[in-house]
Amino acid sequence: MNTKTPLLLKRLLAISFALMLVLLIAMLVGLSAGSTPSGIQALFQSLLGIGEPDSMLDTIIWRIRFPRVLLSALVGATLSLGGLVFQALLRNPLAEPYILGISGGSAIGAIIGILMGFSRFPGVSLAAFAGSVATLLLILAMSSGQTILKKDALLLSGVMVNAFCAAVIMFLVSITQDSRLHNIIFWLMGDLSMIDIGHAGILAATLLPCFILLFWFSNSMNLLLMGKEMALTMGVNIQAVTVALLVVTSFMVSATVSYCGLLGFVGLVMPHLLRLLFGPDHRVLVPACILGGGAYLIFCDVLARVLPEQGEMPAGVITAMIGAPLFIFLLKRSAR
Amino acid sequence: MAIDVNNLSYSYGNFKVLSDITFSVRKGDFFIVIGPNGSGKTTLMKVVAGILKPQNGRLEILGQPIDQYTRKALARTIAFVPQTLPVDFPFSVTEVVLMGRSPYLGMLGLEQERDLEIARQAIAFTGVEHLAHRKLDQLSGGEQQRVFIARAICQEPEVILLDEPTASLDLAHQVRLLDLMEKLKREKGVTVVMISHDVNLAAMYADSLLLLNKGQIVSRGNPDQVLTFQTLEEVYGCTLLVDESPLGKFPRVTPVPGKFVGKS
Amino acid sequence: MIAMGLSLASGQPAAARTVKDQLGRRVDVPDEPRRVVALAPNITEIVFALGQEDRLKGVTTYSDFPPAATMLPKVGSYIRLDLERIVALKPDLCIAVKDGNPKETVQRLELLKIPVYAVDPRNLETVMQTVMEIGRLLNAGEKASTLLQNMRSRILKVQSLVAKSTYRPRVFFQIGIDPIVSIGTDTFIHELIILAGGQNLAAGAVTYPRFSQEQVLALSPEVFIITSMTRAASFEDVKAGWSRWPDMPAVRNQRILLEDSNIFDRPTPRLVDALELLVRRIHPELFKEAE
């Protein structure tokens, strides 16, 4: 009879190691690609300090590309993990990290910040963060005390609030006349370029404890999938776990949105892809989402920088263009 | 006593579902709760399992009030098997059964060799070895039910609670499940508390019966005591014939459709 | 010379001075900028107009005037600059515009020790000031003065010409086709229309006000000028569309005109060209007299 653990630990380490390699490769590709030709050789020369120092290339690789690659890894990890947690928490495979009003609320906050003339950091970011907290609280208030559709009350409230926010956003966009319209549109389409190493560092310091905490709850997520009542009878403190998962995940997703705008499909597709590859045990999926999700977004960002002849595409366009067909493919695969 | 219930009542909002429930379950008993639909059986089960908190009354498990148990300690004492479980995500049978070990493990639930052994035994006990690698959503209702029972067995409980486990099973599988419960009681000394909608099967297996109607206890005791035609006719509201089963010293209940009334 | 070359290669600025840009920021600019990147199409035009294109090493994507500018390396569009490309050109000075260039990119350039001089031309006067300041930056002060003198005398000529007429025709300047969009008071075009002796029918606080067809007809424009980024072909459609209303004075007098948008909304010396063009359109009678 085949049993998975203590092979679990071995499995966990093997998968994590493999994905860490993938992440490393992604980072190398991310640092080598860009609008100025450099290539992998130049990257290694810079890394190892051999050959003639080229300060221009060094600047480009380390001060422009590196923060961006780091941000992509952090955001990809957060969004994938966020999607995974919400899919478990809401017991719905269509859940994604923005579903509890985060996309709507943060967008409205960001747009108001942009219209009021704030600069990206800290003004617009804080406004976006405040917006998503506000909508989350609204949704929690709306869905508390619901007896009908109890399981889906949270989800439905989230969908409703996001839809309403979308209308507000369209209105705000329609009345904006000047160059701030460009800022708004770029924010809505997701923008990994507006980061420097200081901010990336702050974000990393904020997100890493969240990742660790969510890993700590990974077995509880397995049990939650049997239904809240069942999890209760197996010794899970569902109140504490639900609140912790909700708060930590919303916080980390909101934090990334405030840095880089909205990037769709990553949080929806990655959990399903990784579940298809590695099975539904969250103890494996949490690290897989962190590492795999990070690598995925780095690759998407590379495509966004490299595909167009002139300039770059917004990262959100690439994630949607890749994510949607990938999701359909996964749907067909899992139907078998 | 495995379970002691005193003056228990439970309401959903303003709607009173259980009133003044008092009964006890002896250790090692096969205790079956019967009653018409809406009589409060499932609610009672959930209260005893610690899922719902009663507004009034006392509930003791193995002599200790239920709120003095920590969550995990309670999970090691009582296991609950619901009628159905959601199967949104493709866990395998082994993974589901292993979840039953979580009351004995830490936050990450890292299973040791001993836990694997217990799971293997539970899977063998419930006869689902041949399904061990399959995904839960690929199994039939009866097979899923047995997997949930295997999971409950892994909790190594003193008491196992089952909410109408035979509801969607055909006759053969109903008997099979009840035999399994009897085996559990006999070989492991587990107290089995179960809801059944089939009065006759209940009569064949139960050591004690509890008859509920409209949230109140109508009768309790051994099957002979509870299954009298006066009591049953009043509760179920139809004509019944109660005699002794040809299979043994327990009652047999036969409903009497209108067309047969008047013939002896 | 060698010393300067060496210090440039080591990434340190050559002799530099501190100046205040148009936004009041203190910027350390090189005495002799050799590698300038223009962060907006109008800056490119101004640099060429000052004859300093040899210093120019990079421009933004839509820098299409003069045609020679299209041969220069591109650094992205002015609203979305490509930081990597800018840095790769090793600039010793960047010239930015407040209205359009993202603040964050400018900040990051400065963090990378690249001086950025920001300008904010909002009307003819500040355009001329910008020309003067860029001229000083690029050691072309004399050329700038000459250019400005030329601009001022042409503007004066238009003004004195216009003074001869007391009538101010109603002008509707359409910059958007669907929806119909015109220009409010806080635009270059408005200033030019007034200078050219016309009335801007869309004058008001809203910078780019929208109109329905009815509203335009109610305003009864006498001169109708259409500019847009679309090709001339659709101009014929639009003209035909307005021609359905023969009661509109502009239709009756056949004064529906198409003009190239670039000279009207870019803050460059070509605004004076636009002015001269406008006055011909709005007061054609003044030119018949002159002939």
Which DSSP string corresponds to B110-171? ---HHHHHHHHHHHHHTT-GGGTTSBGGGS-HHHHHHHHHHHHHHT--SEEEESSTTTT--H
Query: How many C-beta neighbours within 10 Å does residue B167 have?
Result: 15
The answer to whether the beta carbons of residues A72 and A312 sit under 8 Å apart is: no
**Contact residues, chain A, for C79 at CB < 8 Å:** 179, 182
Give A91's contacts in chain B (Cβ within 8 Å).
86, 88
Coil, helix or strand for A101?
Answer: coil
Cβ of residue A174 closer than 8 Å to a chain C Cβ: no
Is residue A117 within 8 angstroms of chain B, CB to CB? no
Residue of A nearest to B154 (CA): A234
* Chain C neighbours, 3+ Cβ pairs < 8 A: A
Candidate from C11, C100, C104 with C-beta closest to A55:
C11
Token representation of residue C62: 């839509």
Type of residue at A22: V
Q: Which of A89, A234, A238 to mutate to test the interface with B (most CBs of B within 10 A)?
A: A234
Show residues of chain A in contact with B50, CB under 8 Å.
232-233
Q: Which residues of B touch A234 (CB under 8 A)?
A: 75, 99-100, 102-103, 155
Q: What share of chain A is helix, strand, coil (3-state, %, to 5)?
A: 75, 0, 25
| Residue B133 to residue A315: CA distance in whole angstroms | 40
Best mutation target, B11, B88, B144, to test chain A (most A CBs within 10 A):
B88
**How many contacts (CB atoms, under 8 Å) link A and C?**
59
Q: C1 to chain A nearest CA, in Å? A: 22
Whether C and B touch, i.e. at least 3 CB pairs below 8 A, reads as no
Subunits close to B (at least 3 CB pairs below 8 A): A
Size of interface A-B (CB pairs under 8 A): 107
pLDDT in tens, chain A (336 residues): 344 456 788 889 999 999 999 999 999 999 988 877 777 777 877 777 776 767 788 888 888 899 999 999 999 999 999 999 999 998 888 899 999 999 999 999 999 999 998 888 888 999 999 999 999 998 888 877 654 446 688 888 899 999 999 999 999 998 887 778 888 888 898 888 878 888 899 999 999 999 999 999 999 999 998 888 889 999 999 889 998 999 999 999 999 999 999 998 899 999 999 998 999 999 999 999 999 999 999 999 999 988 887 777 888 889 989 988 988 888 888 776
d(CA B51, CA B38): 19
Residue B208 has pLDDT above 60, yes or no: yes
- Terminal CA-CA length for chain A: 24
Is the Cβ of A219 closer than 8 Å to some Cβ of chain B? yes
Q: Which CATH code is given to the segment(s) C2-139?
A: 3.40.50.1980
3-state SS class at C258: strand
Domains, chain B, with CATH or none? 3-223 (3.40.50.300)
C64 touches A at CB < 8 Å: no
Is A3 in contact with B71 (Cβ distance < 8 A)?
no
- The answer to whether residue B150 scores a pLDDT higher than 50 is yes
Cβ contact (<8 Å) for A4 and B102?
no
Residue B39: CA atoms inside 13 Å, Cβ hemisphere, count?
19
- What is the mean pLDDT of the segment spanning B54-62? 92
Which of A2, A3, A155 best probes binding to B when mutated, by most B CB atoms within 10 angstroms? Answer: A3
DSSP string, A119-185: -IIIIIHHHHHHHHHHHHHHHHHHHTT--TTHHHHHHHHHHHHHHHHHHHHHHHHHH--STHHHHHH
Contact C35/C92 with Cβ under 8 angstroms?
A: yes
| C102–chain A Cβ distance below 8 A for any pair | yes
Distance from CA of A280 to the nearest CA of B (A): 6
* A96-259 has CATH 3.40.50.720 classification: no
Tell the CATH topology of C166-290. Answer: Rossmann fold (3.40.50)
Question: CA-CA distance, C131 to C129, in Å (whole number)?
Answer: 5
A143-152 contact pairs (CB < 8 A, 24+): A147/B13, A151/A90, A151/A91, A152/A90, A152/A92
Give every CB contact of residue B243 below 8 A, 6+ residues apart in sequence.
Answer: B251, B252, B254
The sheet that has B3-12: what strands, in order across it? Answer: B15-25, B3-12, B56-61, B64-65
What pLDDT does A34 receive? 83
Q: How far apart are CA B194 and CA C133, in angstroms?
A: 91
Q: Which residues in chain B touch residue A1, judged by CB atoms under 8 angstroms apart?
A: 94, 120, 123, 129, 132
For chain B, what's the residue count? 264
The answer, for A194 touching chain C at a CB cutoff of 8 Å, is yes
pLDDT in tens, B173-207: 889 899 999 999 999 999 999 999 899 999 999 99
Looking at beta carbons, which residues of chain C come within 8 Å of A310? 61, 74, 76
Would you call A233 and B94 a contact, using CB atoms and an 8 Å cutoff? no
Distance from CA of C39 to the nearest CA of A (A): 14
- pLDDT computed for residue C8 by the predictor: 46
Tally of CA atoms within 13 A in the half-sphere of A325 that contains its CB: 4
Q: Is the peptide bond prior to A287 cis by the omega test (within 30 degrees of 0)?
A: no
Q: Which of A43, A63, A64 to mutate to test the interface with C (most CBs of C within 10 A)?
A: A64
Biggest CA pair distance of chain C: 73
| Spatial CB neighbours of C202, under 8 Å, sequence gap ≥ 6 | C172, C173, C182, C183, C184, C209, C211
- Phi and psi, residue C114, nearest 5°: -105, 120
Q: Strand C180-181 relative to strand C210-211: parallel, antiparallel, unpaired? A: antiparallel
Q: Which residues of chain A does C105 touch, with a Cβ-Cβ cutoff of 8 Å?
A: 194
Q: Quick one: closest CA in C to A118, which residue?
A: C103
Whole-angstrom Cα distance, residue A27 to residue A47?
A: 13
pLDDT of residue B234: 87
Rounded distance between C-alpha atoms, residue C30 and residue B72, angstroms: 73
Q: Using CB atoms, which residue from B76, B79, B108 is nearest to A219?
A: B108
Interface test with A, best of C8, C81, C84 (most A CBs within 10 A): C84
Contacts of B92 in chain A (CB under 8 A): 279
> CB-based contacts of A33: which residues, under 8 Å, 6+ apart?
A302, A305, A306
How far apart CA A224 and CA A305 sit, in angstroms, is 40
Rounded to the nearest integer, the mean pLDDT of chain B is 90
Cα separation, C196 vs C179, in Å, equals: 27
CB–CB of C83 and A193 under 8 A?
Answer: yes
pLDDT tens for each residue of chain C, 291 residues long: 444 444 444 445 567 899 999 999 999 999 999 999 999 999 999 999 999 999 999 999 989 989 999 999 999 999 889 999 999 999 999 999 998 898 889 999 999 999 999 999 988 999 999 999 999 999 999 999 999 999 999 999 999 999 999 999 999 999 887 788 899 998 899 999 999 999 999 999 888 898 998 899 999 999 999 886 555 557 778 888 888 888 899 988 888 888 877 788 889 999 999 999 999 999 988 887 554
Tell me which amino acid residue C31 is. Answer: D
- Most A CBs within 10 A among C87, C113, C185, hence the mutation to make, goes to C87
- pLDDT of B148 reads 92
Closest of B91, B27, B50, B66 to residue A225, by C-alpha: B91
Q: Are C120 and C23 in contact (CB under 8 A)?
A: yes
Tell me whether residues C112 and A63 touch, CB distance under 8 A. yes
Reduced to 3 states (helix: H, G, I; strand: E, B; else coil), residue C132 is helix
Is A59's CB within 8 Å of C112's CB? yes
Q: Which two tokens stand for residue B21?
A: 């429930």
Distance from CA of B72 to the nearest CA of A (A): 4
Per-residue pLDDT tens over the stretch B62-94: 999 999 999 999 999 999 998 877 777 789 999
Q: What is the pLDDT of residue B261?
A: 75
In this structure, what DSSP letter does residue B238 have?
S
Q: What residues pair up with B221 in beta bridges, in sequence order?
A: B209
Q: What is the pLDDT of residue C4?
A: 44
**Burial bucket for residue A63 (CB in 10 Å: 0-12, 13-18, 19+):** middle
Among partner residues C79, C99, C103, which is closest to A119 by beta-carbon distance?
C103
pLDDT at A2: 44
DSSP tag of A60: I
- CB contact (8 A) between residue A283 and residue B108: yes
Reported ipTM: the value is: 0.88
Please state the domain extents for chain A. Answer: 96-259, 263-336
Looking from the CA of C21 toward its CB, the CA atoms found within 13 Å total 20
B108 contacts on A by Cβ (under 8 Å): 216, 218-219, 283
Whether A236 and chain B come into contact, CB under 8 Å, resolves to yes
Check CB contact under 8 Å for B75 and A234: yes
* Record: contact A34-C84, CB cut-off 8 A: yes
Q: C with A: 3 or more CB pairs under 8 Å?
A: yes
- Give CA torsion, residues A148, A151, A155, A158, to 10 deg: 50
- The span from the CA of A242 to the CA of A183, in Å, is 36
Contact list in B for residue A286 (CB cut-off 8 A) is none
Sheet containing strand C36-38, edge to edge, reads C56-58, C36-38, C93-97, C116-119
Please, which residues 140-159 of chain A have a Cβ atom closer than 8 Å to chain C?
Answer: none
- How far apart (Å, rounded) are the C-alpha atoms in residues A81 and A214? 9
- Residue in chain A closest to B87 (alpha carbons) equals A226
Q: Cα separation of A74 and A81, whole Å?
A: 11
Closest approach of C36 to chain A, Cα-based (Å): 16
Residues of B in contact with A6 (CB under 8 A): 110-113, 116
